[in-house]
Amino acid sequence: MPKSKSKSKSHRPSGAERLKRSQAQSEEHSHLHPTGLITWDATLVLTAGVDEAGRGPWVGPVVAAAVILDPHQEVRGLNDSKKLKPQVRARLSEEIRAKALCFAIGQASVEEIDRLNILQATLLAMRRAVDGLQPEPLQVLVDGNRLPTLRQRAFALVGGDTRVPSIQAASILAKVHRDAWCDALDQEYPGYGFAAHKGYGTAEHQDALERLGVTPWHRLSFAPVAKRLALGPNPHLAQGLQAHRLHPSLEPRLAPLQPARKVSPLP
């Protein structure tokens, strides 16, 4: 009796096939929405969500992330990063990195924050993140009410991190990335509590600033830091700046200034 033929296995699209399909859909649906948006449906075009972390802290770079989600690989549980517990953010961050079509991290340094102001530095970090995406998105959705200068059609959405999945994903990546930076900084400068307060102006941070002085990673243009700087002495600042100039490897260990980039692997 002849053996029955085994049923063929369902075909799972490769990374290249998924990317090609998304690009084809983008071209097919590239007509303009009456608002100027190409479409609200991020499954039809390559749409990047953008969000930032670290505008308010007194220390460290401001970080932005840009994410193009894969409509065929759902990431469940997305939300505004501030509404998620750290362990949930960490798990989702790994899943986003594994499933997204592409993502990129952009930063603006403490020096850029002090020179430009925190708003302009944030927009710069966002632009660096979007510029790091491959493939490039056809449209960009940014959380908030201000937009960076971009080549792509872009839209600012107040509360976007509560209702747009790609922005929520970007919010999570940016937050996890910056929190890890603060954890590393805590090892370099024990006593400030950076791992706990992540650089925000808590009572603990204020107390440590008064006792220990300003570090090279504090934002000198922020009023509480500028006030403490004027009082002096600030031994960490002098030593740290010298170490920073003599040993530039300190900087990449804490956080790279250029956008980190990941593209879905292609066969």
Q: Which two tokens stand for residue 190?
A: 């024990």
Q: Which domain holds residue 63?
A: 42-177
The stretch 226-248 carries a mean pLDDT of 69
Q: Which two tokens stand for residue 174?
A: 């940016």
pLDDT beyond 90 at 251: no
Task: Count up the domains in the chain and report the number.
Answer: 2
What is the distance between the alpha carbons of residues 251 and 60, in angstroms, rounded to a whole number?
Answer: 11
Query: Model confidence at 233, in pLDDT bands (50, 70, 90)?
Result: confident
Query: Model confidence at 234, in pLDDT bands (50, 70, 90)?
Result: confident
What is the distance between the alpha carbons of residues 241 and 143, in angstroms, rounded to a whole number?
Answer: 34
**158 and 79 within one domain:** yes
Q: Is the pTM of this model over 0.85?
A: no
Residue 89 lies in a domain: yes
Q: Are 26 and 45 in contact (CB under 8 A)?
A: yes
**172 and 81 within one domain:** yes
What is the distance between the alpha carbons of residues 40 and 183, in angstroms, rounded to a whole number?
Answer: 37
Q: Are 200 and 224 in contact (CB under 8 A)?
A: no
pLDDT in tens, 148-188: 999 999 999 999 999 999 999 999 999 999 999 999 999 99
**194 and 153 within one domain:** no
pLDDT beyond 60 at 238: yes
| Cβ neighbour number for residue 35 with a 10 Å cutoff | 8
Q: Are 100 and 52 in contact (CB under 8 A)?
A: no
CATH code at 129? 3.30.420.10
Residue 20 lies in a domain: no
Residue 79 lies in a domain: yes
Residue 49 lies in a domain: yes
- Choose the final residue of a domain: 145, 177, 209: 177
Q: Are 129 and 35 in contact (CB under 8 A)?
A: no
What is the distance between the alpha carbons of residues 49 and 230, in angstroms, rounded to a whole number?
Answer: 40
Single out the residue of 127, 131, 147 nearest to residue 36, CA to CA: 147
- Choose the final residue of a domain: 177, 204, 228: 177
**199 and 171 within one domain:** no
**154 and 99 within one domain:** yes
Q: Are strands 62-68 and 47-53 parallel, antiparallel or unpaired?
A: antiparallel
**172 and 191 within one domain:** no
**67 and 155 within one domain:** yes
- Choose the final residue of a domain: 177, 206, 222: 177
| Cβ neighbour number for residue 12 with a 10 Å cutoff | 8
What is the distance between the alpha carbons of residues 27 and 225, in angstroms, rounded to a whole number?
Answer: 50
Question: Which phi-psi region, left, alpha or beta, contains residue 158 (left: φ > 0; alpha: ψ -120 to 50)?
Answer: beta
**220 and 132 within one domain:** no
For residue 251, give the H/E element and its range: helix 250-254
**168 and 191 within one domain:** no
**205 and 151 within one domain:** no
**68 and 172 within one domain:** yes
pLDDT in tens, 74-101: 999 999 999 999 999 999 999 999 999 9
The predicted pLDDT at position 45 comes to 82
Sorted by sequence, the CB contacts under 8 Å of residue 210 that are 6+ apart come out as 228
pLDDT in tens, 48-58: 999 999 999 99
pLDDT beyond 80 at 121: yes
The predicted pLDDT at position 266 comes to 28
pLDDT beyond 50 at 259: no
First-last CA distance in the chain? 41
**158 and 105 within one domain:** yes
Residue 69 lies in a domain: yes
